[in-house]
Amino acid sequence: MADYYGNHLKKIFTLYGNSPLLEVRFELKFRNREANMLGPQPILELGKKHGPEDVFMIPAKNGLQEYRMLPEQKYGWAFDLKEGWNAGHDTMEDIAFAGAFPVAQPVFLHMYFCTPGDILPPSQGNIEAPHYYVEFQPWVRIPMNTVMYFSYYLWGSGGSWENAVEELRKRNLITVK
């Protein structure tokens, strides 16, 4: 439980037995109108090394989008989604993840590739982060003076991103707009 200027945020982690499924459930009780959005951000580093071998998939309204990590660059995008998921695959180590969330709640999905500050000049690199990583942030509006819940499911396993997404579909965790 965190108290942020009178707003309360609680995270409940559930690891489902006999599977690589993790649920992060957010409970939000906000009163301060200045904090009216939340971008839950599972920070992901696939495999031992994060680089161009990592591919990321987003089901945007205008079609399936594919991105690869480009070392020595930091960049991000915002997506209007058709379905509530995102995925990644380390093509060298053959490991994948998929994240799922209720697609009706986020205003957009933000994807950000971070390059460490010691690699790039301070104006271009993230000086707070000493390693490469990817963030996926489904930005959700927070209603004031009520309790709101938001769940983000994560599946991590060997194999392709398609298999990880299919496992979430089998569990009815992927929603469609």
* Segment 99-157, tens digit of pLDDT: 999 999 999 999 887 776 555 555 555 556 667 778 889 999 988 888 999 999 999 99
Output the domain CATH number for residue 25.
2.70.98.10
DSSP assignment of 5-36 equals TTEEEEEEEEEPTTSSEEEEEEEEEB--TT--
In a domain, 50, yes or no: yes
Chain segment 37-58, per-residue pLDDT in tens: 888 877 767 788 777 889 999 9
* Contact present, 78 and 62 (Cβ < 8 Å): no
Q: How far lies 74's CA from each of 49, 94, 121, 147, in Å?
A: 16, 24, 12, 35
Task: Dig out the tokens for 64 from the structure.
Answer: 């399936």
pLDDT at 80 (0 to 100):
94
- Domain of 116? 2-170
Q: Is residue 116 assigned to a domain?
A: yes
- Is the pLDDT at 76 greater than 70? The verdict is yes
> pTM for the whole thing?
0.86
How many domains are contained in the chain?
1
Q: 175 lies in a domain? A: no
pLDDT value for 125: 52
Q: Is residue 67 part of a domain?
A: yes
